[in-house]
Amino acid sequence: MRCLGARMTSPDLPKIAVAETLAQNVASLDAGKLPPAVRRKCEELLIDVVGLAVTARNEDYTQSVLAACDDDGPCTAIGHARTLSAVAAALVNGTAIHGEDFDDTFEGGPVHAGAVIVPAVLAACERYARDGKAALLGIAVGVETMCRLSLVAPTLTHKAGFHPTAVFGTMGAAAGVGAALGLSQRQLVDALGNAGSMAGGIIEYLAEGAWTKRLHAGCAAQAGIRAALLGRAGFLGPRTVFEGVHGFFYAFARTSKGDFAAVIDGFGAQWVTPTLAFKPYPCGTMTHPYIDCARRLGRRVKADDVVEMVCDVGEGTVHRLWEPLAAKQHPANGYAGKFSTPYCIACGFVHGNVGLNDFSDDAVRDPAVLALAAKVRYRIDPQNPYPKNFTGHIRTTLRDGSVIEERQPHMRGGVQEPLTRADIEEKFFLNARHGGWSEQRAAAALKFIAGLFEGPVELTGLRQ
């Protein structure tokens, strides 16, 4: 019988692997010593994701996932009366939170951390009676790990056909749950090693607006819990999971030559978590600066006077948000509209804003919006800073031959123009109303959330 403490190593492998250094850094952290900016971002993240879970609680995709779960237990599905196992609660909550594409974004990745990490950590803490400090540490570690991993080989995961939130989220959730449950350094290494074989999430949802992107966050959250529990139980995972010749990045980014220093250098000392962006619009993040431009254009000219609108874009966004162009100009359904820059631009121009109700199947058939979307096209700007920064630029030609332009130098809600706590709470109330909660019910939930990191993780106040 093989001893659990033994690990065979090859002389060709690194003496200290990336996962081992990461695990050492994670294991040394103390929730009580987190920087104020990190704690503040985790508090804001909690407010945002709970509101998003509520806004989607009655949507058909959330109800489908809930109905598919056959493992009841003690854990909370936010906004629902039924309780579930930890992994099922993470699946339902993660899917709901990411469902309307209104959740936070890390611009360097890009990844959506809150929809994966918060459901995984809360479910694990609720199941295993961990307190709010453990939850805070787990969320901070999970978000930081997930975001840093997305910087190792930027854009290559998308180009390989995978959803970064799904693949990096699984690793981040394993680290976050591991931290919350107090795993040892060795157990964390095994948790990460095992998570590498659980990650996945293809982006074929783009073809016809299928629901699977919504599922990716929930799947990553539940897989992270499983991986952490396996690591805690001594199930061996490859310590070279990240940099190995058959490792995580080789599988999901087609390279093993990434910038692994982005993961481990300064972990726990310099944090990227405070730079998370909160979305002002419920659609693909890279469309946001273009929506801002379109709204300003809509205040300057009439849609009937527009001949064409040409957008300068980053090459890395084209295959998801622009092509095939004809399909993006006429989205197949409301969900497909969220990943169509032409539709989002036309919607912002015609309606003066873009909100939750603009992505129903009926809304994307609006003749006035579709007529303008048909006039929107793109050209690749080799100088575009994506993914380090999300920008917008629309050049509009009018019937009289004149040309007007609008530029947006950054994403509103991001590090250069962050939303305030009041903005985030206003968004929470908006989402809660959309999900059918009264103002009184939403206010009580907001008060409940405010104390979550100070006491036991007991989430009955967030049930139906």
Q: pLDDT tens, 193-250?
A: 999 999 999 999 999 999 999 999 999 999 999 999 999 999 999 999 999 999 999 9
Lowest average pLDDT, out of 11-25, 226-240, 398-412, goes to: 11-25
DSSP 3-state assignment of 277?
A: strand
pLDDT in tens, 329-340: 999 999 999 999
Mean pLDDT, residues 16-39: 97
**pLDDT above 50 for 384:** yes
- The DSSP letter of residue 363 is G
For residue 277, the cross-strand partners are: 105
Nearest to 286 by CA among 177, 160, 397, 387: 387
Written as six digits, the tokens of 278 are 């909160």
Place of tokens 């990460």: 192
Task: Give 1's pLDDT tier (boundaries 50, 70, 90).
Answer: very low
Place of tokens 């919006």: 369
Q: Average pLDDT over the chain, rounded to whole?
A: 96
Mean pLDDT, residues 58-76: 97
**pLDDT above 70 for 290:** yes
Of the CA atoms within 13 Å of residue 180, those in its CB half-sphere come to 39
- Pick the more confident residue, 206 or 2: 206
**70 vs 216: CA distance, rounded Å:** 19
pLDDT in tens, 127-185: 999 999 999 999 999 999 999 999 999 999 999 999 999 999 999 999 999 999 999 99
**401 vs 233: CA distance, rounded Å:** 70
**258 vs 221: CA distance, rounded Å:** 24
What pLDDT score does 7 carry?
59
Task: Give 108's pLDDT tier (boundaries 50, 70, 90).
Answer: confident
What pLDDT score does 73 carry?
97
Nearest to 216 by CA among 170, 257, 256: 170
- Pick the more confident residue, 2 or 44: 44
Written as six digits, the tokens of 207 are 């073809």
Task: Give 5's pLDDT tier (boundaries 50, 70, 90).
Answer: very low
Task: Give 109's pLDDT tier (boundaries 50, 70, 90).
Answer: confident
**pLDDT above 50 for 2:** no
Q: pTM for the whole thing?
A: 0.94
First to last CA, the chain: 49
Mean pLDDT, residues 274-295: 97
Task: Give 6's pLDDT tier (boundaries 50, 70, 90).
Answer: low
Q: Degrees (nearest 5) of the Cα angle 441, 446, 450?
A: 150
Written as six digits, the tokens of 89 are 């609660």
**pLDDT above 70 for 348:** yes
**275 vs 282: CA distance, rounded Å:** 19
What pLDDT score does 373 carry?
98
